């Protein structure tokens, strides 16, 4: 069955679909509050956004895993901070707070859709690379080429993009990395940070790779 990797983009989401580990399609899902109906046939949805609210062991474990690039993992804020207007003294970065609507939406959606699993693309790319750090930051030319090469090594070719062909390159690469993890989740070979996942209010909270 197909699986999908999903990453945020302006006003919505980029989705990359794999079938048997190979590229099978791409979708632009809008708005941010999408129910991801375009990928309704996918058995697993791996999404690059926190599912649940901080503080979380998953964020700490991911920073440890990404030694040398720990700054790419931000601390997920508590729900009450995300629901307040952003301003000085709130105790959360503007970047983290701006993700609030996505975190709130996907966390609620995950309560009724067990296909949703959280990923962090840089964790996935490092896992693809045998646990070794990548040489370049993802927004650099060298970083994009490095990540394209890793995806290709793992059988994911992105030359046939349609709906997301005009999306930012790093969003597409991140969605493809999420799809790689979705395939591993479907096969039962994915790892989790932490391992085992943290149980919060009956839900398993982890970043998968």
Other beta carbons less than 10 A from residue 1's beta carbon: 9
Q: Distance from first CA to last CA of the chain, Å, rounded?
A: 19
The pLDDT value given to residue 153: 98
The pLDDT value given to residue 93: 87
Residues of the chain where predicted confidence (pLDDT) is lower than 70: none
The pLDDT value given to residue 73: 95
Q: Which of 150, 176, 146 is nearest to 161 (CA)?
A: 176
How far apart (Å, rounded) are the C-alpha atoms in residues 5 and 164?
Answer: 13
The pLDDT value given to residue 186: 98
Dihedral, CA atoms, 107, 96, 64, 172, nearest 10 degrees?
70
How far apart (Å, rounded) are the C-alpha atoms in residues 59 and 75?
Answer: 6
How far apart (Å, rounded) are the C-alpha atoms in residues 83 and 43?
Answer: 31
∠ CA 74-36-161 to the nearest 5 degrees? 85
The pLDDT value given to residue 154: 98
Instruction: Give the tens place of pLDDT for each residue, 170-192.
Output: 999 999 999 999 999 999 999 99
Give yes or no for a cis peptide into 55 (omega within 30° of 0): yes
């Amino acid at each position: 069955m197909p699986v999908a990797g999903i990453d945020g983009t302006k006003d919505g989401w980029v989705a990359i679909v794999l079938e048997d580990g190979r590229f099978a399609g791409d979708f632009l899902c809008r708005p941010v509050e999408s129910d991801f109906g375009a990928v309704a046939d996918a058995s697993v949805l791996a999404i690059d956004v926190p599912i649940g609210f901080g503080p979380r062991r998953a964020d700490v474990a991911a920073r440890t895993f990404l030694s040398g690039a720990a700054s790419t993992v931000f601390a997920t804020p508590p729900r009450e901070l995300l629901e307040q207007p952003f301003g000085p003294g709130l105790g959360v970065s503007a970047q983290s707070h701006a993700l609030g609507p996505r975190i709130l939406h996907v966390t609620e959606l995950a309560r009724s859709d067990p296909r949703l699993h959280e990923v962090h693309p840089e964790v996935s790319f490092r896992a693809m690379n045998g646990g070794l750090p990548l040489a370049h930051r993802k927004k650099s030319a060298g970083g994009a080429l490095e990540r394209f090469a890793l995806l290709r090594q793992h059988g994911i070719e992105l030359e046939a993009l349609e709906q997301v062909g005009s999306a930012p390159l790093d969003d597409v690469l991140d969605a493809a990395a999420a799809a790689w993890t979705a395939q591993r989740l479907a096969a039962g070979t994915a790892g989790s940070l932490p391992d085992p996942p943290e149980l919060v209010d009956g839900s398993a909270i982890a970043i998968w790779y």
